[in-house]
Chains A and B, each alone.
Chain A
Amino acid sequence: MATTYLEAIRQGLWEEMERDPGVFLIGEDIAVYGGAFRVTAGFLDHFGARRVIDTPIAESAIVGAAIGAGLMGLRPVAEIQFSDFISCAFDQIVNFAAKCRYRWGAGVPMVIRAPSGGGIHGGPFHSQNPEMAFVHTPGLKVVAPATAYDAKGLIKSAIRDNDPVLFFEHKGLYRKVKEDLPAEDYTVPIGKAAVIREGRDMSLITYGAMVHVGLEAAGQLQREGIDMEIVDLRSLLPLDIDAILASARKTSKVLLLHEDTRTGGLGGEIAALISENVFEYLDGPIVRITAPDTPVPFSPPLEEAFLPNVRMVVEKARWLYRY
């Protein structure tokens, strides 16, 4: 039976808790209620209140407590109910967790799960993609899986990692994407991208929910004779620079797609990397397709206009193909 993205995360958490008694969960409404998105439903009954901890509504305290427990050798998984609220814990993440190892040699094994992304009419405070605030922070790792397979493999890698990992799970994918998963234990390495569609004519580099927008666009473009490669970054920090450059060298034309807003988005960084390293291979300008520089609006016509979509990708790809 195919496993959903949400169920994959749930399985990953469950199996790691079974495997390692130091793994525990902490967050708002995660125990008795089972989490706002039901990711941790049933965990309290099985693992008990010692390992599945409901907290006051206090993101900085949740993350701080996870840091303290991580320093003491446990493997906390903190849930931020919506990634929009992660800004409440910004100081703990960027000043405490990210800098401990560099400053005084103390690793902070800790995972922060943060449901992110739009498309559910959540409005300005339940739809954001705050990953770049953390990609700009040395000492953190940031992942954003697009598939059920990667979601399970990356949550396991994140829990086993000895550095703090931010796990941005796209809430729009929770029940939308599914696939058959291996029965045996597996992990997906942090820092490795995946070429999820081979192509000759151009590269689309993307992550998260936009991977699926890219795949749909690639199907349409194929019927027009345009063969698009898709690189799913999976990890945003560290970036798989080799995979990015290899695809750019192969196709010589690059589209960058992200749901995050434009200015200061990951696209700019990737464009600079390509320009610095493989400029001579390019046969056209590097094209960005992103959300505009606005908050995420609530009303459906506004949110639809905000989110990058298949039509935008197809149009930009046609333009770049002819360039």
Chain B
Amino acid sequence: MSAAEITTPLRSRDAELAERFWHFMSMMREVEDRIERKLYRQGKIVGGVYVGRGQEAIPVGTALVAEAADVLFPSHRDMAVFLIRGVHPRRIFAQYMGRVGGLTRGRDGNMHMGDLRLNIVSIISAMAACVPVAAGAALALKYKGTRNVAFCYFGDGATSRGDWHEGINMAAVLKLPLVLICNNNQYAYSTPLAQQMACANVADRGPAYGIPAEIVDGNDVFAVHAAAQRAVEHARGGLGPYLIECKTFRMTGHSAHDGAAYVPSHLWEEWGKRDPIARLEQTMMDRGWIEAAQLEELRASLRTEVDEAIVWAENSPYPGARELLDNVYEKR
């Protein structure tokens, strides 16, 4: 796999799709860079920061396949799912800053957020717990007679938890419309893959549950998108769950406090050459879909939008202590 190689044959209508890929991947990168490398260091982020740098092709390539009524369970490294569903970056900044403008009004931080009107369910920290819950959402979609599906995102670390196995097994037995998306970024906090599992690939587990599983280059957004289409077609067709293992690399520590000294330096170099945004840009220019100067204009426009979003978030107030007791239960 060389740096610029793109595995999926391109068709001409892909130019427009590529521009959408580029927009959401670049916006996610810009927002996360500001959060991790500026705001966190300035003390404006009040808790942990978990970014998906280097993994942007995964949420973008998959979530753009979803229909509005499909239900998405993004992990903390899948910010672009929110952007694609129309969550404005200013609300993400406010969420990270613990302000009322965030999706949880300061009840939770970082990517721990959801909005049922957008069909996005919030993860919890023990991420594998989302697999049975996503199976339940898929069950409901089937129960209601829709042809919609649930997308469940998780990392390689989550695949070691019992919930992951219980949820996939049940979804397979009940033939639920569930698309399982693993961002295998090779590290769970400091634990490398070889200490996470004794099999070579997460996808190797698919046959054990009687479900199709495929491995895809997670840094090739076209390949991820094509795999997601196959998975969704399978699940919508009533054939049950489908597992996609996206091979990628976490180009950051576990969180902003983590320098990740445990990662051998050659891995940073190798994976740095496979950056999904750089590869997409190269493809777009090679195909003559865009020119370097145009990309620079688009980048400048994103930066301006992000500048404004940060100002909005910083002007959003903190929640008052009087809100503390609200919403433990439904108001009667």
| Given known A92-B129, A139-B328, contact A56–B170 (CB-CB < 8 A) | yes
Question: Could you say which of B107, B108, B113, B328 contacts A138, with CB atoms under 8 Å apart?
Answer: B328
Interface residue ranges of B85-119 to A (CB < 8 Å): 103-104, 107-108, 112-116
**Chain B CB within 8 A of A17 CB:** no
Residues of A within 8 A of B124 (CB): 95-96, 99
Contact status B329-A61, CB under 8 Å: no
For B113, B136, B144, B328, which residue has the most chain A Cβ atoms within 10 angstroms?
B136
| Given known A92-B132, A104-B107, contact A60–B162 (CB-CB < 8 A) | yes
Contact status B114-A106, CB under 8 Å: yes
Question: Could you say which of B104, B135, B138, B139 contacts A103, with CB atoms under 8 Å apart?
Answer: B104
Contact status A68-B107, CB under 8 Å: no
Contact status A106-B116, CB under 8 Å: yes
**Chain A CB within 8 A of B137 CB:** yes
**Chain B CB within 8 A of A74 CB:** yes
Chain B 287-316 interface mask (CB, 8 Å, partner A; 1/0):
000000000000000000000000000000
**Chain B CB within 8 A of A105 CB:** yes
For B103, B137, B330, which residue has the most chain A Cβ atoms within 10 angstroms?
B137
What residue in chain A is nearest B115 (Cβ atoms)? Answer: A104
A71–B121 Cα distance when bound, in Å, is 8
Question: Could you say which of A68, A74, A161 contacts B135, with CB atoms under 8 Å apart?
Answer: A68
Contact status B173-A68, CB under 8 Å: no
Question: Could you say which of A65, A104, A107 contacts B330, with CB atoms under 8 Å apart?
Answer: A107
| Given known A107-B330, A163-B329, contact A72–B122 (CB-CB < 8 A) | no
Residues of A within 8 A of B116 (CB): 71, 106
**Chain B CB within 8 A of A120 CB:** no
Interface residue count on the B side (C-beta < 8 Å): 42
**Chain B CB within 8 A of A102 CB:** yes
Question: Could you say which of A67, A99, A103, A106 contacts B136, with CB atoms under 8 Å apart?
Answer: A67
| Given known A101-B329, A104-B103, contact A64–B131 (CB-CB < 8 A) | yes
Contact status B141-A72, CB under 8 Å: yes
Contact status B133-A64, CB under 8 Å: yes
**Chain B CB within 8 A of A223 CB:** no
| Given known A103-B122, A104-B114, A163-B330, contact A65–B108 (CB-CB < 8 A) | no
What residue in chain A is nearest B125 (Cβ atoms)? Answer: A95
| Given known A68-B135, A68-B138, A69-B140, contact A55–B129 (CB-CB < 8 A) | no
Contact status B112-A68, CB under 8 Å: no
Contact status A65-B112, CB under 8 Å: no
| Given known A61-B135, A64-B136, A68-B139, contact A104–B329 (CB-CB < 8 A) | no
Chain A 57-94 interface mask (CB, 8 Å, partner B; 1/0):
01011111111111111101000000000000001100
**Chain A CB within 8 A of B267 CB:** no
**Chain A CB within 8 A of B163 CB:** yes
A76–B170 Cα distance when bound, in Å, is 16
Residues of B within 8 A of A64 (CB): 129, 131-133, 135-136, 163, 166-167
Residues of B within 8 A of A53 (CB): 139, 174
B105 → chain A, closest Cβ, in Å? 8
**Chain B CB within 8 A of A162 CB:** yes
**Chain A CB within 8 A of B80 CB:** no
Contact status B327-A65, CB under 8 Å: no
What residue in chain B is nearest A72 (Cβ atoms)? Answer: B140
B20 → chain A, closest Cβ, in Å? 27
| Given known A60-B163, A64-B163, A139-B329, contact A104–B135 (CB-CB < 8 A) | no
**Chain A CB within 8 A of B284 CB:** no
Residues of A within 8 A of B140 (CB): 68-69, 71-74
**Chain B CB within 8 A of A24 CB:** yes
**Chain B CB within 8 A of A322 CB:** no
Residues of B within 8 A of A96 (CB): 124, 129, 133
A139–B330 Cα distance when bound, in Å, is 9
B250 → chain A, closest Cβ, in Å? 24
**Chain A CB within 8 A of B75 CB:** no
A23 → chain B, closest Cβ, in Å? 11
| Given known A61-B167, A69-B137, A72-B71, contact A106–B129 (CB-CB < 8 A) | no
Contact status B133-A68, CB under 8 Å: yes
What residue in chain A is nearest B131 (Cβ atoms)? Answer: A64
**Chain B CB within 8 A of A181 CB:** no
**Chain B CB within 8 A of A282 CB:** no
A67–B112 Cα distance when bound, in Å, is 17
Residues of A within 8 A of B132 (CB): 60-65, 67-68, 92
| Given known A56-B173, A68-B134, A72-B137, contact A100–B328 (CB-CB < 8 A) | no
What are some 23 contacts across the A-B interface (CB < 8 A)?
Answer: A50-B143, A55-B170, A55-B174, A60-B129, A60-B162, A60-B163, A65-B133, A68-B132, A69-B139, A69-B143, A71-B137, A71-B140, A72-B141, A72-B144, A74-B144, A101-B330, A102-B327, A103-B107, A103-B113, A104-B115, A105-B104, A106-B122, A139-B328
- B residues contacting A by CB (< 8 A) are 71, 103-104, 107-108, 112-116, 121-122, 124-126, 129, 131-141, 143-144, 150, 162-163, 166-167, 169-170, 173-174, 327-330
Known: A67-B133, A68-B140, A74-B144. 8 other contacts (CB 8 A): A63-B132, A64-B163, A68-B121, A92-B129, A96-B124, A96-B133, A103-B104, A104-B115
